[in-house]
Amino acid sequence: MTPQSGFMVLAPINPERETELRQLLDSMNDGPGQVNPNNALIPFAQFEELHFARLLILDDNSLKDRAIYGLPGDFPLQFAFLGDIDGEEETFLKELAQRAPEGLRRLFSCCRDFDPDCDLLAWMKRHRSLAIASFVNCRGRTVRRIREEAQLRETLDRYLTEKAATLAQMSPREVHAKLSEFVAAEKSAGRLTLSGESPTPIAWWIGNTLHMICLPLLVLLALPVLLLALPFYLIRVRYLEKTDVEICPKVDPAYSEMLAVAEDHFVTNQYTAFGSRKPGLVRLLTMIGALSVVNYAARHITRPGHLGRIRTIHFARWVFLDGKERMIFFSNYDGSVESYMDDFINKTGFGLNAAFGSAIGYPRTRWFLFDGCADERKFKNFNRRHTIPTQVWYKATAYLGLTAVDLDRNSRIRKGVEKPSMSDAEAREWVALL
């Protein structure tokens, strides 16, 4: 199995070059929200391991909210380049530096500490930013596998149309046998490829297993202390929840429209939310705790294709900035932002509250998990205000028109095709996918 990973390069922008950087980013697009996958700066389409990528200027609209807590609001404007890939971050950065050195240098030269003579790869690695939590829809599902499975479905689709009359007379098991036979023939004729899984990198496997075991172990070890501290912690949290300020004014329509012009050009959308954490140790611990749980669950517990009840997210990640004072959330999801938010509020409201409740201005929560986003209007206002424009966003052209649910269907079709035999019930369910 080839695991997926993420990369993120983050660097402060040279204020004198901000305009130039914005122009460069614009030049990568055919239109707002529509990247040219073969643009001159970073020809994304050439990178076969790349699922999603985005380049953006981290403009924080909510900096002035920090004044409520007496926090300073002056941070340098930063530039981020991040993506989700098959395989190791290191390998991918190397490939990037090799294939798009000029484009990357032009972009990064707008950052404060970029020396034109520097080693590009080393510079990028120095500016890596790690996620505190991340979610991969289906670990091991590489771009290549997605492409092959999509081709499988298309091939089957054509065959089904051609042979509709014959196949309509067959029982599901007969259909399955017939299609398996057809696929085998296509494969041996070299018209269809369904690659097997690559071996799981041993280092990754060890790291992952250690992570799976050690985190609960640590919690277990710390349990006596945690239990002792719990009552004080809860009292404090509840007090804070009752006294914290909500900042959920009506959305500025011009701002919202500026975001909207870049949305809904594809079946999948990007989402970037940026904000500050409420001050204090309790909030810091709450946030780290909540996101560690999210990360652990996403890595070791969730069923492939599911973030709880949500089945529309391809990749998501949470990143701390500025010594954990600010946090940014990136996701790639299917459908419109309205349906995305409704899904979250109605299906996983508690998760939303846990993951974002420590942000300044978030709608009032009750015991971390409750209320909060259940005030739909406040939450949507809060959310849109914290959404920032993503100047460049790329989704692998191999599956541009496919949703996460489509990918799930294609994987199920493939699994079925590779199954030597099926029960009647299995065959019925499988045939219904076609």
Partner 1 sequence: MSEADFDYADVQGLVRFGYGHLKSASYSVLRIKNPAAARAWLRGALQSNAVTTAVKASPPPTTALNVAFTASGLKELGLTPVVINGFSNEFIAGMTQTSRARQLGDIEENAPAHWDWGYAAKEPHLVVMFFAEKERFDAFVQNSIGAAWKEAFHEIDSLPTADLDGVEPFGFADGISQPEIDWGQQRESKDVQLDYTNIAALGEFLLGYPNEYGKFTERPLLEADATTNELLAALDEPGKKDLGRNGTYLVMRQLDQDVRKFWQFIDKQAGGDPAERDKLAAAMVGRKTDGEPLVPIRNEPIPGIDEKQASKNQFTFDDDPAGARCPFGAHVRRANPRNADFPERPANTLKKLITIAGFGPNRFRYDLMSSVRFHRILRRGREYGPSVKLLEALAPPPSDDPPRGLHFVCLNANISRQFEFLQNAWIASTKFAGVTGESDPLLGNRQSLPGCPVTANFTMPGSSSLPRRVSGLPQFVTVRGGAYFFLPSLRALRYFAVVENA
- Return residues touching partner 1 (CB under 8 A): 34, 160-161, 164, 167-168, 170-172, 175, 250-251, 253, 256-257, 260-261, 263-267, 301-303, 306-311, 334-336, 338-339, 342-343, 346-348, 374-377, 397, 399-403, 405-406, 408-409, 412, 428-429, 431-434
Alpha carbon dihedral 265, 269, 270, 274, in 10-degree steps, equals 110
Instruction: Tell me the closest approach of the beta carbon of residue 334 to partner 1, in angstroms.
Output: 7
Return the number of the residue (87 or 140) whose C-beta is nearest partner 1. Answer: 140
Return the number of the residue (81 or 430) whose C-beta is nearest partner 1. Answer: 430
Residue 54's closest CA among 82, 30, 25? Answer: 82
The residue with tokens 């909540």 is 290
Cα–Cα dist 44/164, whole Å: 39
Return the number of the residue (78 or 365) whose C-beta is nearest partner 1. Answer: 365
Instruction: Tell me the closest approach of the beta carbon of residue 116 to partner 1, in angstroms.
Output: 36
C-alpha count within 13 angstroms, C-beta hemisphere, residue 275: 23
Instruction: Tell me the closest approach of the beta carbon of residue 332 to partner 1, in angstroms.
Output: 14
The amino acid present at 45, given as its one-letter code, is A
Contact 123, 41 (CB under 8 A): no
Contact 6, 105 (CB under 8 A): no
What single DSSP character describes residue 307? B
Instruction: Tell me the closest approach of the beta carbon of residue 197 to partner 1, in angstroms.
Output: 20
> What are the tokens at 220?
């277990």
Burial of 68 (0-12, 13-18, 19+ CB in 10 A): middle
Return the number of the residue (94 or 163) whose C-beta is nearest partner 1. Answer: 163
Instruction: Tell me the closest approach of the beta carbon of residue 366 to partner 1, in angstroms.
Output: 12
Contact 116, 381 (CB under 8 A): no
Residue 245's closest CA among 364, 369, 378, 352? Answer: 364
Return the number of the residue (101 or 216) whose C-beta is nearest partner 1. Answer: 216
Return the number of the residue (128 or 309) whose C-beta is nearest partner 1. Answer: 309
Contact 59, 272 (CB under 8 A): no
Instruction: Tell me the closest approach of the beta carbon of residue 401 to partner 1, in angstroms.
Output: 2
Contact 108, 14 (CB under 8 A): no
Residue 325's closest CA among 85, 108, 60, 141? Answer: 60
Return the number of the residue (129 or 256) whose C-beta is nearest partner 1. Answer: 256
The conformational region for residue 129 under phi > 0 = left, psi -120 to 50 = alpha, else beta, is: beta
Instruction: Tell me the closest approach of the beta carbon of residue 432 to partner 1, in angstroms.
Output: 6
The amino acid present at 337, given as its one-letter code, is V
Return the number of the residue (31 or 280) whose C-beta is nearest partner 1. Answer: 31
Contact 40, 116 (CB under 8 A): no
Q: What are phi and psi of 269, to 5 degrees?
A: -125, 160
Return the number of the residue (327 or 404) whose C-beta is nearest partner 1. Answer: 404
Return the number of the residue (127 or 384) whose C-beta is nearest partner 1. Answer: 384
DSSP 364-397: PEETTTEEGGGSHHHHHHHHHHHB---SEEEE-G
Instruction: Tell me the closest approach of the beta carbon of residue 252 to partner 1, in angstroms.
Output: 9
Instruction: Tell me the closest approach of the beta carbon of residue 142 to partner 1, in angstroms.
Output: 18
Instruction: Tell me the closest approach of the beta carbon of residue 414 to partner 1, in angstroms.
Output: 13
Residues in the chain: 434
Contact 321, 58 (CB under 8 A): yes
Cα–Cα dist 67/144, whole Å: 48
Return the number of the residue (53 or 97) whose C-beta is nearest partner 1. Answer: 53
Instruction: Tell me the closest approach of the beta carbon of residue 355 to partner 1, in angstroms.
Output: 15
